Structure 1
Amino acid sequence: MQKQLLMGNEAFARAALKAGIRVAAGYPGTPSSEVIEAIAEEHAAGRARGVHVEWSTNEKAALELLAGAAYAGARTLFTCKQVGLNVASDALMSLNYVGVKGGTVLFVADDPGPISSQTEQDTRRFGSFAKVPVFDPATPDQGCDMIEAAYELSEAYRTPVIVRPTTRVCHASTFLAFPETTTARDIPAEGFVRSSKWVIFPKRAFEAHGEINERLVQIADDYSTGALAAFNPVEEGGSVQGQRPRLGIVAGGVSTMYAREALRMLAERCDAAGIEVPAYRFMQIGTPYPFPEKAVETFAEGLDQIIVFEELDHVIEDGLLALCGKLHAGYDVFGKLNGYARDRGENTVDDIFDRIARYLGLERVLEAVGSSESETAPLAYDGPLPMRPPVLCAGCPHRGSFYAIKRALGKTPAVLCGDIGCYTLGNAMPLDAVDTCLCMGAGITMAQGFSIVEPEKKTVAFVGDSTFFASGLTGIVNAVYNQHDITVAVLDNATTAMTGSQPHPGTGVTMMGPKSAPVSIEAVLKAVGFECIVHANPFVLEESVAAAKVAIGFDGPSAIIYEGPCISLSKPGEPVSIDAAVCTGCKKCITEIGCPGIGFDAGACGPASGGRGQAFIDRSLCNGCGLCVQVCPFHAIRLPESPNDSASGSRAGGGTDA
């Protein structure tokens, strides 16, 4: 086995394959997406034998599929991001009561920051809520070891197990060695065996709850004294010879590595300054639920104070406080609850360095660091950095869809309900086309609520093609069943763009290779009872506005399907050009659609613009979609194939499909 440089998620995928998984399923969500893709890549290359891998319609579908496979004895892997576990929670809560036969690991990636999520939800809390064991890796290497241990634990106690890395662990890279080929474990010869235990009646659920409580006590003991105790290591530190530690430092997840690096830096700087570091004791909590009480009790013996570093919630801190009360121990706990650690977002080495130095009473080191930094040359710019808000890509089809609906509505009172995806960015100026965004699929049902209480307003719900299948169908059916007067705008760009262009049922592409027939969005809408369904190319403005007027004017549930490929799926066309002799400097191309491919030079002069400045095209961004050509009232923007074309949008749509 040769070592390879692997992203954390790629390594986790290989670790799961090495553990013998037979079925892997999930739904795309940063920072978890690469795991399923890496497994699919190994399967396509013939290196992962006997494995089925898929992007399921949503997280609930994925976990329920895996439950069936696990009941037959197969080892399974579920993947999602933290908010995706909300979708799968119905299945998870019951699955833990029913139990599993084959090892079942839920790879749930948390997103402190949040960097690409709508919440900073902490899956460790979900573990305790669902009474499911949790592993919390500090590095990709440790995460791979935890995945192997999680399968063993799952089968030993017949419970699903959560492995919860965070963004920095998922996307870090490291050198690891794995077998060149892997083969899925055979399922037991008897396969699925019929039994009443698989049916969750109330009487059985009551019994199962007791079994869960008993096994959690046993698992906590395993975390403290068994082989799994290796994930909760304890170290001694400090430079004062013979001094007994009175101070403790506890960390979890990637904060473990930040704290270790901060302690190394502190020791190095103290040594250079001739300052001794007080004795301390350090512990990683790699198994936060059930809390490894015996191991922590041993760690805390003789300590007066313990500071905790963890990302998101104060889970470890709560565990320490509860144990302190239970044992009537005498240590004080410092962390998020009393302002000694960050209460949100990501931790950093520098921040933890500062907090540990103060905690250990080494302010002199901080003063020395500050004085040395002040001697360095000042930065050329030391003011606040400008904000760079996210925007829709140049050539994104969603821009034309939003703009067309705003044009169709005019001054008509309306509520525009958004959803999760690239098109959430429709809320930004100048489009200003998204009034709400809650969670996946919610825009469709929220629009129905608005239509009930504010019937004088038009309600439009935007949904992407992937989200339509993942979470939109329930709301679609509800709109027809209860005859809510809403318009659903399906922004079909033929991919799951925000999370990395994964396929979905509407594309027909599967992770196993063969392409199935794409599921038709129009056919689904017709099947459930939508009577008004119109199509439009979002790059052709006149067509898009006309379609929006038809759908919005219909009395009852209606739909517009805007079909235009994501720019990641199409070859860019030649950029448009601006005729400096015709441009008046009105800025309408900028203030109407806000394409990042269009800039404005305030110092430019021209026959029509005078001293007002002129727009210009950033050729490195423009893909020739032609939307701005149709927006310019003076026909100053032109497509290269038809320089005399005023606003036909003859090349609307940009390039050709890749």
Structure 2
Amino acid sequence: MQKELMMGNHAIALAAIDAGVTFVSGYPGTPATEVVETVFKNKTDDIYVEWSVNEKVALEAAAGAAYSGCRCIVAMKQVGLNACSDPAMNLSYIGVRGALVIVVADDPGPVSSQTEQDTRNFALYSKLPLFDPSSPEEAYTMTQMAIEISEKYSTPVILRPTTRVCHSYAGVSRNKIPLVPVKKGFEKDNKWVCFPALSYLNHLKVEKRFADLMKEFESLPYSRQYGTGSTLILASGVNCAYVKEAVQFLNLQEDQYIFLQAATIPLPESGIISLLDKIDRIVVIEELDAVIERQIYYLYGKTGLTAPVIYGKMSGDIKTAGENTVDEIILLLQRVFEIPKLVENHPDAREPAAGKKAVLCAGCPHRAAFYTVKQAMKDQRAVFCGDIGCYTLGKSEPLNMVDTCLCMGAGITIGLGIQKANPDDTVFSFIGDSTFFHSGLQGVLNGIYNNGKLTIIILDNRSTAMTGGQPTPETGSVSCQSPQVVKIEQVLAGLGVSEISIISPYALNEGIEIVRKTAVLDGIKAIIFRAPCKKKETVKKQVKIEESICNGCGICIKEIGCPAMTLNNGLIQIDETDCNGCGLCTMVCKRQAILQIGGRYE
């Protein structure tokens, strides 16, 4: 069968299309973003796709379609599962009529997340089945298997790729799976309503379903055992590929080990139990939490057998945070199998990336907004609460304008709490346009309801920029032919915010004056700094240094930290490939040695 080269996330999306999915939703978040984007690019007319305003909305909308008999898929990153854990938990009890697959991309490292949380724990907690692919090929086949399991057991199913699987490439064979005849359309039934008495009965069904799934997963191809030795090696996700590479590199023979891929939740117990009295040691290789390792200890307790030596996270042999590497697994297996010649450097090991300071892009409107507020509050005691997005980089020097950052939308509500506890402080909350629509509205409403005092700075660059520039309600949905545009200022006014200012972040002096006047007012106030993400614009001209005037003082660099500016041989130099002519540096230079020769705001 012909193979196509595709990324893991592409494989998930194309597998869903090939399986007859007709409803796809999600919220942008690395490493999961490309799933929905790929469906957008490849969808047929019978597939509905939307970027939802947050993950809770995405899952609930997909649940409604699944109630109506559709095959559905929802995509998010692991922290997005926090936002939709309420409907996810309840859907475990209520179930679905079509198919519902929840793609939750975990981020060991983390590469681009606030936490290293492990979605396998949620699967155990909620009793939702989970597939854990080790490669793009498995991401494709497991997506389709998850759809089939979802329909067979009338339950949502979690697909849990990690960053390395999401963003790696491989040749994948595509396969269309037949549709199950289901009468489309929502049918009224008491089972769709969460009543306590019904929940008790559903809980009994959930427990039975989990036990039935455990037996069904025994027959999956991923549950096959390899090798005949007395050392059991268990691995999950991309670590399966690492183990295979390490075994080959160390030239371990099949009579030295048994390898088993822990690819599902629930873990197929009977196959593992049949091995427990035949092995003298176990190696458990997984990232994030010791989910498999804890289950192995549980199985020994359940069977009454004495556990052998178990090498894993709980023993300190596998690190408890971050990604594993092939090198680390090689060194561990050398110890376990007592290979005398230690191999310190595996030639195919992944080299750590060279350190590079993370900063806002050259010309980013967020830099100008942060600088405006910083100048307005100079020599005053002010607290700056941040949020999730590109603008979290406002924490970096020389701006240093983010004092807190917790989770999506928390900048506003944390700011309200800080102000109540410190009534003499001037408190600002910075939030991006996409994050505002995601989970900022409730904070605004709470501040008005509880008579808070807060200045909300909305950084409106007209996109979900950090994940690639996906649309927001303010730019209009790409899933509609006639998209409705929702203005932030109208939403604020509807919530009861009476003091709303809208300004370009590059109008420095005007912005400073507005910030100062607004900050002293009582109540909830908002300033919208509105300018497009620089990646959305075409540069006309740039700025230049007047060398006869520049004295190389470096104030421009020290004040705003634009990556397009460097100090070389006593003179400021501007990287023409990076500068996009925003003009902020021309306003900072005291000697007027930087001239704007065009650009976006000429």
Query: For the superposition of Structure 1 and Structure 2, which TM-score range results when normalised by the shorter chain?
Result: over 0.9
Question: Which residue is equivalent to 2:196?
Answer: 202
CA-to-partner distance for each residue in 1:226-257, whole Å, 9 max, x for gaps?
A: 3x2x1222111xxxxxxx62211111000000
Aligned counterparts of 2:314 and 2:482: Cα–Cα separation in 1: 52
User: 2:269 maps to which residue?
Assistant: 293
Work out whether 1:536 is the aligned partner of 2:520: no
Q: Aligned in 2, Cα 1:79/1:184: closer, same or farther, shift over 3 Å?
A: farther
Measured in 2, the distance between the counterparts of 1:338 and 1:545 equals: 56
Report what 2:42 is aligned to.
42
Match of 1:633 in 2: 590
Corresponding residue for residue 648 of structure 1? none
Alignment of 1:539-554 (within 5 A): 539-554=506-521
- CA contact 1:441–1:475 (8 Å) conserved in 2: yes
CA distance in 1, matches of 2:275, 2:439: 46
Measured at CA, do residues 469 and 634 of structure 1 come closer, stay the same or move farther in structure 2, by a change above 3 Å?
same
* Match in the other structure for 2:224: 233
**Alignment partner for residue 60 of structure 1, among 45, 56, 63?**
56
Which residue of structure 2 lines up, in the alignment, with residue 440 of structure 1?
A: 408
2:447 is aligned to 479
The answer to whether the Cα contact below 8 Å between 2:6 and 2:136 also exists between their aligned partners in 1 is no
Selected match of 1:322 from 265, 283, 298: 298
Say which of 584, 591, 615 aligns to 2:572.
615
1:188 alignment partner in structure 2: 182
> What does residue 350 of structure 1 align with?
327
Determine which of 58, 79, 86 is the counterpart of 2:82: 86
What amino acid is the match of 1:485?
K
Which of 192, 204, 212 is the equivalent residue of 2:206? 212
Whether the 8 Å contact between 2:54 and 2:439 is mirrored in structure 1 is: yes
Residue 614 of structure 1 deviates from its aligned partner by 2.4
1:494 matches 2:462: yes
Contact 2:15 2:140 in 1 (8 A): yes
Report the alpha carbon displacement of residue 174 of structure 1 after superposing the two structures with TM: 1.4
Question: Which whole-Å CA distance do the structure 2 matches of 1:500 and 1:344 have between them?
Answer: 27
CA shift digits 1:122-146 (9 cap, x unpaired): 0001111111111100111112111
Please give the secondary structure, in 2, of the residue aligned with 1:67.
Answer: helix
Distance change in 2, residues 1:406/1:652 (3 Å): farther
Q: Which residue of 1 aligns with 2:104?
A: 108
| Structure 2: stretches of 5+ with no match in the other structure | none
TM-superposition CA deviations, 1:452-472 (whole Å, max 9, x none): 011101110000000010110
> Is 1:126 the counterpart of 2:156 in the alignment?
no
How big is the shift at 1:101? 0.7
Using the TM superposition, give the Cα deviation of residue 556 of structure 1 relative to its aligned residue in structure 2, in angstroms.
Answer: 1.0
Deviation at 1:302, TM superposition (A): 0.6
Secondary structure of the residue aligned to 1:101 is: coil
Tell me which amino acid in the other structure corresponds to 2:377: L
**Cα pair distance change 1:473/1:355, threshold 3 Å:** same
Q: Equivalent residues in 2 for 1:149-160 (5 A)? A: 149-160=145-156
Could you tell me how far 1:620 is from its partner in structure 2?
Answer: 1.8
Deviations 1:559-588 (A, max 9, x none): 000011111100123231111221122211
Structure-2 change in CA distance of 1:67 and 1:277 (3 Å): closer
Larger radius of gyration: 1
Change (3 A) 1:172 1:515: farther
Query: Which residue among 495, 503, 513 is the counterpart of 2:471?
Result: 503
The partner residue of 2:246 within 236, 246, 262 is: 262
Aligned with 1:595: secondary structure? coil
- Matched with 1:608 is none
TM-score normalized with structure 1 length:
0.88
- Give the aligned partner of residue 363 of structure 1: 340
SS in 1 for 2:474: coil
Q: Deviations over 1:187-233 (max 9, x none)?
A: 73363221211111111111111110111111111112x3x2x1222
2:20 equivalent to 1:24: no
- Cα distance in 2 between the residues matched to 1:207 and 1:363: 58
Query: For residue 11 of structure 2, what is the aligned residue in structure 1?
Result: 11
Alpha-carbon separation, structure 2, partners of 1:623 and 1:327: 67
Distance 1:10 1:385 in 2: 25
Q: 1:521-568 deviations in whole A, cap 9, x for unaligned?
A: 000001111110001111221122122223212211100000111111
Whether 2:435 is the aligned partner of 1:467: answer: yes
| Aligned residue type for 1:357 | Q
Deviation at 1:176, TM superposition (A): 2.1
Distance in structure 2 (CA, Å) of the matches to 1:387 and 1:7: 26
Residue 653 to residue 445, structure 1, CA distance change in 2 (3 Å): farther
Q: Compared with structure 1, are the counterparts of its residues 65 and 187 closer, same or farther at alpha carbon in structure 2 (3 Å cutoff)? A: farther
RMSD in angstroms over aligned alpha carbons?
Answer: 2.1
Cα deviation 1:371-400 (Å, max 9, x = unaligned): x99xxxxxxxx9x99742210000100000
Residue 513 of structure 1: how far off its partner (Å): 5.2
Which amino acid in the other structure matches residue 235 of structure 1?
Y
Structure 1 residue 263: deviation in Å? 0.6
Given the alignment of the two structures, is residue 412 of structure 1 paired with residue 380 of structure 2, yes or no? yes
Cα 1:559–1:309 change in 2 (3 A) is same
Distance, in Å, in 2 between the alignment partners of 1:338 and 1:515 is 58
Distance 1:70 1:94 in 2: 14
Match of 2:390 in 1: 422
Structure 2 CA distance for aligned equivalents of residues 253 and 524 of structure 1: 43
319-328 vs 107-116, which moves further? 319-328
Which residue of the other structure, out of 233, 237, 242, is the alignment partner of 1:249? 233
Q: Which ranges of structure 1 fall in alignment gaps of 5 or more residues?
A: 237-243, 271-275, 374-381, 605-612, 642-650
C-alpha contact (below 8 Å) 1:533/1:561 kept by paired residues: yes
Deviation of the 1:619 alpha carbon:
1.6
**1:471 aligned partner, one-letter code:** S
After TM superposition, give the deviation of residue 93 of structure 1 in Å: 0.9
1:232 partner letter = S
Question: Contact conserved, 2:70 with 2:184, CA < 8 A, in 1?
Answer: no
Residue 259 of structure 2, aligned match among 277, 282, 287: 282
For residues 190 and 31 of structure 1, the distance between their equivalents in structure 2, rounded to whole angstroms, comes to: 33
Residue 8 of structure 2 aligns to which amino acid in structure 1? G
The AA in structure 1 aligned to 2:285 is F
8 Å contact from structure 1 (residues 72, 187) kept in 2: no
Give percent identity, aligned residues only.
Answer: 43
Cα gap change, 1:386 to 1:551, in 2 (>3 Å)? same
Q: Deviations along 1:491-533, whole A, 9 cap, x unmatched?
A: 00010011111111111132x3524131000000011111100
1: CA distance, partners of 2:23 / 2:406 = 32
Aligned mates of 1:49, 1:10 — CA distance in 2: 19
Structure 1 segments, 4+ long, off by >4 Å, are: 182-187, 651-654
The answer to which of 437-446 and 328-337 deviates more is 328-337
The DSSP-based 3-state class of the residue aligned with 2:562 is: coil
Q: Structure 1 CA distance, aligned partners of 2:138 and 2:319?
A: 25
Query: Is 1:451 aligned with 2:442?
Result: no
**Which residue does 1:97 correspond to in 2?**
93
Q: Secondary structure of 1:120's match?
A: coil
Contact 2:226 2:254 survives alignment (8 Å)? no
For residues 189 and 53 of structure 2, what CA distance do their matches in structure 1 show?
Answer: 29
1:138–1:476 CA distance, 2 compared to 1 (3 A): same
Contact 2:140 2:172 in 1 (8 A): no
Q: 1:495 to 1:653 in 2, by over 3 A?
A: farther
> Aligned with 1:325: secondary structure?
helix
Q: Is the 8 A contact 2:540 2:600 kept in 1?
A: no
C-alpha separation between the residues in 2 aligned to 1:583 and 1:299? 76
1:300 shift after superposition:
3.4
Instruction: Render the CA deviation track for 1:157-192: whole Å, top value 9, x for unaligned.
Output: 11111010000101111122336xx89958733632
Secondary structure at the aligned position of 1:444 is classed as helix
Mean alpha-carbon deviation: is it higher for 52-61 or for 298-307? 298-307
The code of the aligned residue for 1:313 comes to D
Which of 562, 566, 579 does residue 533 from structure 2 map onto? 566
Q: SS of 1:106's equivalent?
A: strand
Q: Which amino acid aligns with 2:411?
A: G
Counterpart-to-counterpart distance in 2, 1:618 and 1:627 = 15
1:448–1:486: 8 Å Cα contact kept in structure 2?
yes
